[in-house]
Amino acid sequence: MNSQTLQKYAELLARCGLNVQKGQEVLIIADLDQPEFVTMCVEECYRAGAKKVLVDWIHQPVTKLHYENQTLETLSTLEKWQLEKWAWQVDQLPCKLYIESEDPDGLAGADQDKISKTRQNQFPLIKPYRDAMENKYQWCIAAVPGKAWAKKVFPALPEAEAVEALWKAILSTSRALEGEPLENWAEHNQNLKRRYDYLNALKLKSLHYTSKNGTDFTVGLIDGCKFLGGGEVTLNGNFFNPNIPSEEIFTTPKAGEAEGIVYATKPLSYQGALIENFWVRFEGGRAVEVGAEKNVELLRQMIAMDDGASKLGECALIPFDSPINNTGILFFNTLFDENASCHLALGRGFSNLLEGFENLTMDECSERGINNSMIHVDFMIGSPDLCITGTTRDGREVEIFRDGGWAF
C-alpha cells in the first residue's frame, strides 16, 4: 500500500478515531505485523499535540507460549508494576489506540479453559481501574493486515498479495482509500446521527426480530436509553470514534428481557478460535440453550464466564446491504464482521447510553437494566430477509427493518 494513503489513514486514527488533544498522552497497543504503520500513528499523534506516545507491542505466538508454559496461578497474577500501570491510566487517562492484526486462529490448540480462567481471575483485579476510567478517555479500535490473517481471508493468494488485498479491504471499508478520509467521516457521522435521532424519537419499548432462517426473538429496551452510532463524547466533552470502521446504530437492551431464538449468520472468532453455525435460545433474558456445528463447548464456556455473560449488552442495527457485507469478504475479525450486518452482544452493556448517566453510579446503571459482565462478545444475526418491528412505549408498532435493511 502506498505510504501517502497509509499516512492519511494514520492521521484519521489520530484525529478522528482518538481526536488527540494538545497535551494528552497516548497508549498504542499493536501487534508486530506493521511497525512502519504504527510509527506513522505515533507521528500523527505527536502532530496532533500529544505530550507522550507509548507503544505496547504484542505478539500472538508469544502469548500462546505463555498460556502453554505458565501455571494458571502465574498467569492470573498481576505484578505490582502492572497494577501501577493501570493506576497511571486512571490518573492520566491516556487515549488508547488498539491496532488489530492478529491471526483469527492464532490461539487455536491452546488450552481454552486456561485462557478463560486467566481472564476470570484477572478481571476483579483490573475492574476497579477500568470502572474509574469508564467514559473518561478517548479510544479507538482499528486494523492493519497481518500475514496469517491475510492468508486466512484470501487463502488463494500468495502471502504478499493477500496482505495487499487485506489492506485494500480494510482501507476501503474504513472510508480511507478514496477522497479525504477526515471529510468522509464527518459526512458518515452525520448520516448515522440522522438515523439514531429518528429511532430515539420513537421511544421504543421492544424489538421483535424475524427471519426465514428461524430467528424469532424479542428483546426489551430501557426507558431513557439512547441509540447511538459513529462518534461518542467523553465525560470531559471530547468527541471520538471508538471503531473504525463503524456502520452500526446500537443500543443496550434491558438485561433480563429477551425471549426466543436467534441464528448466527457468520462464524464467531472468540479467544482465538472459531465458533461456527450456531444459535442461541433466550428465556427470561438469559441464553439458556446454545447449539453449534463447531466449538459448541467454547460457546457454552463463554456464556458461563460470569453472571452477566448469558445476558445481552447490545443490539446493533446495520443494513445487510452495508459496505462491509458488499465486499463479500468474511474478515474473521469482529471489528469488520460486526459491521457487516445486525448483531447482538452477550455481556457488558454501555452505561453511557443512559440519559443522565454522568450522575449515576455503576450500580444504579445496573438497576436500570444495563448488563454487567467481564465479556462483551458480538455475534452476527443479520440476514437478507431480516425484519425488525419495534413497539413504542405508547403501544404503536413501527417497522424498523424490512428485508435486511432500514424501513425508514
- Applying CB under 5 A, the residues found at the interface with Zn ion are 248, 316
For residues 267 and 330, give the distance between their C-alpha atoms in angstroms, rounded to a whole number: 9
Shortest reach from residue 382's CB to Zn ion, in Å: 12
Considering the complex, state which of residue 33 and residue 248 has its C-beta at the smaller distance from Zn ion: 248
Considering the complex, state which of residue 145 and residue 230 has its C-beta at the smaller distance from Zn ion: 230
User: What are the backbone angles phi and psi of residue 287, rounded to the nearest 5°?
Assistant: -70, 110
Q: In which residue are the cell numbers 450456531 written? A: 278
Q: In which residue are the cell numbers 460470569 written? A: 306
Shortest reach from residue 179's CB to Zn ion, in Å: 26
Annotate 150-159 with b (16+ C-beta within 10 A) or e (fewer): bbbbbeeeee
Considering the complex, state which of residue 103 and residue 314 has its C-beta at the smaller distance from Zn ion: 314
For residues 239 and 218, give the distance between their C-alpha atoms in angstroms, rounded to a whole number: 33
Tell which residue, 400, 292, 304, has the closest CA to residue 346: 304
| Beta bridge mates, 136 | none
Annotate 23-43 with b (16+ C-beta within 10 A) or e (fewer): ebbbbbbbbebbeebbebbbe
Shortest reach from residue 339's CB to Zn ion, in Å: 8
Considering the complex, state which of residue 60 and residue 215 has its C-beta at the smaller distance from Zn ion: 215
- Separation of CA 297 from chain center: 23
For residues 225 and 196, give the distance between their C-alpha atoms in angstroms, rounded to a whole number: 12
Considering the complex, state which of residue 100 and residue 248 has its C-beta at the smaller distance from Zn ion: 248
For residues 248 and 315, give the distance between their C-alpha atoms in angstroms, rounded to a whole number: 9
DSSP string, 227-259: -EES-EE-TT--EE-SBSS---EEE-EEEEEEE
Considering the complex, state which of residue 44 and residue 247 has its C-beta at the smaller distance from Zn ion: 247
Shortest reach from residue 211's CB to Zn ion, in Å: 19
Considering the complex, state which of residue 93 and residue 381 has its C-beta at the smaller distance from Zn ion: 381
Q: Taking CB positions, which residue lies at the least distance from Zn ion?
A: 316
Shortest reach from residue 250's CB to Zn ion, in Å: 5
Shortest reach from residue 155's CB to Zn ion, in Å: 27
Q: CA angle, corner 25, sides to 21 and 27, nearest 5? A: 120
Considering the complex, state which of residue 33 and residue 314 has its C-beta at the smaller distance from Zn ion: 314
